[in-house]
Amino acid sequence: MLDIPLWKRLLILGIIALGLLCAMPNLFYSRVEQHNDAIAAVERNGFETPEEAEARAGWPDWLPSGLVNLGLDLRGGAHLLGEVHVQDVYKARMDALWPELRDALVAQREVVGAVRRVQAPDGQLAVEIGNPDQMAKAVEIARGLATPVTSLSGAGQSDLAVSANGSRLIVQLSDAEKAATDDRTVQQSLEIVRRRIDEVGTREPTIQRQGKDRILIQVPGIGSAEELKELIGTTARLTFNPVISRTSDANARPGMGNVLLPSMDEPGVYYIIEESPVVTGEDLTDARPSFDQNGQPSVDFRFGPSGAKRFGAYTSANIGQPFAIVLDDQVISAPVIRQAITTGSGQISGSMNVEDSTRLAVLLRAGALPAEMTFLEERTIGPELGQDSIDAGRLSSVIATVAVVAYMIASYGFFGAIASIAVIINVILILAVMSMMGATLTLPGIAGIVLTVGTAVDANVIIYERIREELRAGKRVVKAIDDGFNEAMSAIIDANVTSFIAAMVMFFLGSGPVKGFAVTLTIGLVTSVFTAIYLTRLMIVFWLQWRKPKELIL
């Protein structure tokens, strides 16, 4: 086995060289990180600022630029626990149902009489009909708008609960539909939060559901919990609504089915608009920061096919009429429709700078949160604490490595030095693999690396002890080394397989710190087997071919 073919030698050395190259960017962490951030910003925004060009030029494009991401406990960042107000969706569902129910009842006006929506608690739709004696017919019409609940627990049930109270028809979501809606709302909020955070280029955030209606958010590298709340908490609800009138009276009564909203750019000006929008931000397929014809920051947006069709039909039928572009209950603009807009594209402009337009584009691309989210717990981990953790981890790693190297050299002399070189390269390979994977390093991850340093020499110890036994049996140097490697192979594989199984269990069943520990431990097991069996053997073969020893004291 000591007769290693040339191709295998080149392969082993090539893997080591590749590992060194991929781990190298971590020596220039800040420079490479700025380079990567600049590239991501250019791809996200579609243009490059002078500062981004300078940052991108700080690291050659032809070199690897993968880094080991630092977790929240090492880098610092923000921790939030948010609660989703799932009840908000009930009201939105009833508001969306009203036009359809109204049209269905009006079609039977000669039976049910006049139809009028009246005030009702949030989550309920109350409709007063002119002929209370025909309430059974009205209930039948309302139930005809119901659909089956789309969940396993609600299979076979209707999504609407319809009842009568005198002359009033009461419609609300059924209990089964509320349960299914709650689950969908939290899942949708989870995905939108993830998309918003990913859009601004944060690294390896932890975003996961906790309990029935809560979401845990941990984002390394962000300045504060307030900054994270500002990004997540903004609803960025964009709608295009018909305009009823314009007024300066902040107390004007908008009337049933309408709302009074302030103008964003014109203080003291208010618009009365229809509450039901023509299209919403949900119909957007893209939004990008841009500049308008006056060179001012703006946002270009584009509707999908269905949104473009509805918007085109509305503008075609309302030429000469104003319509409102509404963002978060403020009217950004209320232009008059000069011609039909059938291309599905448009632009939002107003009092904003480049940062505002970029953030707005991010929020619009990510979509609106389906319900309000309040934050029950918030915590900011400062960079200083993160740096202290890094320093402590680095110190523990150095102490562990020095102790292991000293023990190996004291026990096995020159062969111990070879094993020590393999251990150091093993750590470098761990960082290289984590860099290529974009894995996140946490304090438990550092513990996994330290443990790997301590256990990486186990294979070498087994091999060297087997070689000692073969030497005591009177075998020649080359034969003793060859048999030592052969006899130790099964024990090494068995020991690492059992550790690998334990690491896999921790990875799939654990979360957070446990999973971070399992990742580094798993990578360390693979790289330690490679360095112990292949790299150590190759270095010993080079030494044997160079020195050709007749005796070996081990």
Is 289 a residue whose pLDDT tops 80?
no
Residues 67 and 114 in one domain: no
Q: What are the tens digits of pLDDT across the range 334-358?
A: 877 777 777 777 776 666 777 777 7
Q: Is residue 47 part of a domain?
A: no
SS3 157: coil
Q: Which residue has the higher pLDDT, 228 or 127?
A: 127
Residue 13 binned pLDDT confidence (cut-offs 50, 70, 90): very high
How does pLDDT run across 220-252, given as a tens digit for each residue? Answer: 777 677 878 877 765 557 788 889 888 888 888
pLDDT at residue 150 in the model: 66
Going by C-alpha positions, the residue among 17, 16, 42, 33 that lies closest to residue 68 is: 33
Pairing label, strands 440-441, 69-70: parallel
Query: Which of 148, 177, 206 corresponds to the end of one domain?
Result: 177
CB within 8 Å of 68: residues ≥ 6 apart: 26, 431, 434, 435, 439, 440, 441
- Any idea which of 109-113, 134-138, 217-221, 517-521 has the lowest mean pLDDT? 217-221
| Domain CATH for 445 | 1.20.1640.10
**Domain co-membership, 165 together with 250:** no
Are 64 and 94 in a shared domain?
no
Residues 394, 514 share a domain: yes
Least confident of 70-84, 229-243, 264-278, 298-312: 229-243
**309 contact partners, CB below 8 Å, separation of at least 6:** none
- Compute the distance between CA of residue 311 and CA of residue 341 in angstroms, rounded to an integer: 7
- Tally of CB atoms within 10 A around 503: 22
| Residue 81 included in any domain | no
* Higher local confidence (pLDDT), 445 or 64: 64
CATH number at residue 154: 3.30.1360
Are 63 and 96 within one domain?
A: no
Query: Across all residues in the chain, what is the average pLDDT?
Result: 82
Residue 208 covered by a domain: no
Nearest to 441 by CA among 523, 498, 525, 502: 523
> Tokens 């300078």 label which residue?
54
Q: Positive or negative, the Cα torsion across 430, 432, 433, 437? A: positive
The pLDDT value recorded for residue 428 is 92
What pLDDT is recorded for position 270?
A: 92
- The per-residue pLDDT for 366 is 60
CB neighbour burial string for 272-294, b if at least 16 within 10 angstroms, e if fewer: bbbeebbbbbebbeebbbbeeee
Out of 29-38, 53-62, 442-451, which region has the weakest mean confidence (pLDDT)? 442-451
Closest of 159, 164, 158 to residue 181, by C-alpha: 159
Beta strands in 277-433 (DSSP E): 279-280, 284-291, 297-303, 323-327, 330-333, 345-349, 373-381
Across the range 368-395, mean pLDDT stands at: 74
Whether residue 426 sits in one domain with residue 330: no
pLDDT tens sequence across 466-488? 888 888 888 888 888 888 888 88
Q: What is the reported pLDDT for 511?
A: 64
Q: Is residue 433 part of a domain?
A: yes
Tell me which of 122-131, 197-206, 333-342, 451-460 is least confident: 197-206
Tally of domains in the chain: 3
- Owning domain of residue 305: 238-350
Give the per-residue pLDDT at 12: 92
C-alpha dihedral over 547, 548, 549, 552, to 10 degrees? 90
Does residue 213 lie in a domain region? no
* Its pTM surpasses 0.85: no
Q: Answer yes or no: is pLDDT of 89 > 90.
A: no
Judgement on whether residues 442 and 531 belong to the same structural domain of the protein: yes
Q: How far apart are CA 524 and CA 397, in angstroms?
A: 14
The beta strand positions in 95-224, using DSSP E, are 115-118, 124-129, 160-165, 168-173, 206-210, 214-220
Together in a domain, 528 and 392: yes
Residues 6+ apart with CB under 8 A from 458: 492, 495
In a domain, 296, yes or no: yes
State how far the Cα of 297 lies from the Cα of 290, in Å rounded to an integer: 6
Residue 176's CB: how many other CB atoms inside 10 A?
Answer: 19
pLDDT of residue 235: 56
pLDDT in tens, 371-381: 788 888 888 77
Indicate if the pLDDT at residue 81 is higher than 60.
yes
pLDDT at 149: 77
d(CA 416, CA 10): 24
Residues 528 and 403 in one domain: yes
